[in-house]
Amino acid sequence: MNLHWHRRDLRVEDNRALSSGDPVVPVFVFDREVLGHAAPPRVSYMLSALESLRESYRKRGGDLLVAHGDPREELPRIAAELGAERVVWNRDYSGLAKRRDAEVRDALDEDGIVCQSFHDSLLHTPGSITTNQGDYYSVFTYFWKKWRDRGKGESFGAPGKVVDVGEMEVAELTDVESGDLPTLADLGFEEPVAEIPPAGAETARELLAAFCDGDVYSYDEKRDYPAQECTSRLSPHLKFGTIGIREVWETTEQAKNDAQTEADADSVDGFQRQLAWRDFYAHVLDNRPDVVVENYKDYQYDIAWRDDPEGVQAWKDGETGYPIVDAGMRQLREEAWVHNRVRMIVATFLTKDLLVDWREGYDWYRQKLADHDTANDNGGWQWAASTGTDAQPYFRIFNPMTQGERFDSDAEYIKRFVPELQDVPSKKIHEWNDLDEAERTDLAPDYPAPIVDHSERREDAISMFENAKG
């Protein structure tokens, strides 16, 4: 019997470490150190995913064991008490997780308990896609070409027999509960402000099926328009592994086969390309674990980021006077999720208009996003900040007014999140920074004037990077 340690693979199907066919007892450990880096939206989402996972095990005649504490101590102890043959888990590639897993492995080794870890969460594992010289790629496009042309593994099926610990003849388990999950409050978190979307494998499959049955075919055409709501919404599921990545791949491949036109098939490619970004940033983080605190790209001199607590607060509150930015920041608060185009817009606003260090924005995402993922968010922030892969400062300054006009021309998305602008014609919304004070007050007395002058800040940003280049 294997003790399966669940971490970011909160599902039973298409789960590599669970697929050996061996009888299994599953366990989840609430790790204080990991929770110390977490935040309410994400933990709330995770608890709901765990409930769903527990339900899957109960349907299979077992239950999910729940422990609290340090996995380096809990896993050897539980494995010993159960008399498990092996402890198995699926790999996590962030620096912290790699260190912890190595320590868990050492602790198990010391107790003479066999353990085994598996690649599971990505289509292509970190380090498997490299340049012909064997180096990690630092430019996505080349990575993408190799990624696309490489065969993908098949999905794994259901787990072997789930053992009901209650019916085992084992000495009493110490401090381990059968399926009793803590509440957010038990874990010391406030209720999140945001409305957290439903979690769990069933929801994930429904989302994937619905997406592949329709929106995936217009993904290429519509994905940049936040009001369209045509994206998959799978991000928190991929973060917590409530769906297997191979199953996602196969379902999209099927959609590509079913496509009626070439354009429809190309649109599916466009979505799959986003899955490649996920693998790409996992490669980047695996190669350079320091990117969580350091710039990926070396500049000769320090970038002279500004200290602007008031600006940062206005950004967090969605009170910058740039409508598309404010809409995005308010969506973040309300839904713990933001449309990706808007994530890029608000990130370039913080870094190129407020000239504030990307780390501040990354920290805020980490606190507020249900789908926060170290590799993806860090990659995204550093890309926006021109400190990451494929850094091209001049190419990465968005004009927040133009972006709003181009991607939300009817201001439908903006008005959804910024009610002060409800009755303002979209044309005026997209000219907000050019209107005079009297007209702004007349149109929307409660909505702020732009807190910075974009064209001025654009010049400042360019010289900030010129200076850093040396």
Partner DNA sequence: TATATATTTGA
Partner DNA sequence: CAAATATAT
Binding site for DNA (CB under 7 A): 140-141, 277, 344, 394-399, 402-403, 406, 454-455, 458, 462
Q: State yes or no: 231 annotated in a binding site.
A: yes
Considering the complex, state which of residue 203 and residue 374 has its C-beta at the smaller distance from DNA. 374
Determine if residue 141 is left, alpha or beta; phi over 0 gives left, psi from -120 to 50 gives alpha, anything else beta: alpha
Identify whether the C-beta of residue 26 lies closer than 8 Å to the C-beta of residue 64.
yes
Rank residues 180 and 453 by Cβ distance to DNA and give the closer one.
453
Q: Which is nearer to DNA, 240 or 280 (CB)?
A: 280
Was 423 annotated as part of a binding site? no
Is the CB of 139 or the CB of 209 nearer to DNA? Answer: 139
Round to whole Å and give the CA distance between 287 and 443: 51
Q: Is 274 annotated as a binding residue?
A: yes
Q: Which is nearer to DNA, 443 or 462 (CB)?
A: 462
Residue 326 CA to residue 315 CA, distance in Å, equals: 7
Distances (CA, A) of 401 to 18, 298, 386: 49, 31, 20
> 377 a known binding residue?
no
56 is in an annotated binding site: no
Nearest distance from C-beta of residue 462 to DNA, angstroms? 6
Find out whether 37 is annotated in a ligand binding site: no
Alpha helix stretches (DSSP H) within 60-194: 71-82, 95-110, 140-149
User: Among residues 25 and 354, whose Cβ is nearest to DNA?
Assistant: 354
Considering the complex, state which of residue 89 and residue 137 has its C-beta at the smaller distance from DNA.
Answer: 137
Is 279 annotated for ligand binding? yes
Rounded CA-CA distance 145/418 in Å is 40
Residue 105 is assigned to a ligand binding site: no
Closer to DNA by CB, 301 or 394: give it. 394
Closest distance between DNA and the C-beta of residue 346, in Å?
A: 13
In sequence order, which residues have a C-beta less than 8 Å from that of residue 112 and are 6 or more positions away? none
- Give the pair of three-digit tokens for residue 336: 């713990």
Measured in degrees and rounded to the nearest 5, phi and psi for residue 116 equal -150, 135
Least Cβ distance, residue 41 to DNA (angstroms): 23
* DSSP conformation class of 174: S
Q: CA 241, CA 373: separation in Å to the nearest integer?
A: 12
CB of 70 to DNA, least distance (A): 37
Instruction: Indicate the residue type of 287.
Output: N
CA atoms within 13 A on the CB side of 329: 23
Residue 50 tokens, joined: 């765990």
In the bound state with DNA, the residue whose beta carbon lies nearer, of 140 and 447, is 140
To DNA, the closest distance from the beta carbon of 238 in angstroms equals: 15
The CB density around residue 32, as the number of other CB atoms within 10 Å, is: 12
Minimum distance of DNA from residue 395's CB (angstroms): 5
Min dist CB 274 to DNA, Å, is 7
Residue 399 CB, nearest distance to DNA (Å)?
4
Does the annotation flag 210 for ligand binding? no
From 352, 389, 362, 386, select the one nearest 469 (Cα to Cα).
386
The helix/strand count (H/E) of the chain reads as 20, 6
Question: Where are the alpha helices (H) located in 306-407, listed in sequence order?
Answer: 309-317, 323-335, 340-348, 358-368, 374-384, 400-407
372 is in an annotated binding site: yes
Residue 25: how many CB atoms within 10 A of its CB?
23
At closest approach, how far in Å is the CB of 164 from DNA?
45
Tokens representing residue 414 in the block: 């903006």
Q: Concatenated DSSP letters for 254-268? A: HHHHH-SSHHHHHHH
Q: Do the annotations mark residue 277 as ligand-binding?
A: yes
Residue numbering of the annotated binding site: 219, 231-235, 271, 274-281, 371-373
Residue numbering of the annotated binding site for FAD: 219, 231-235, 271, 274-281, 371-373
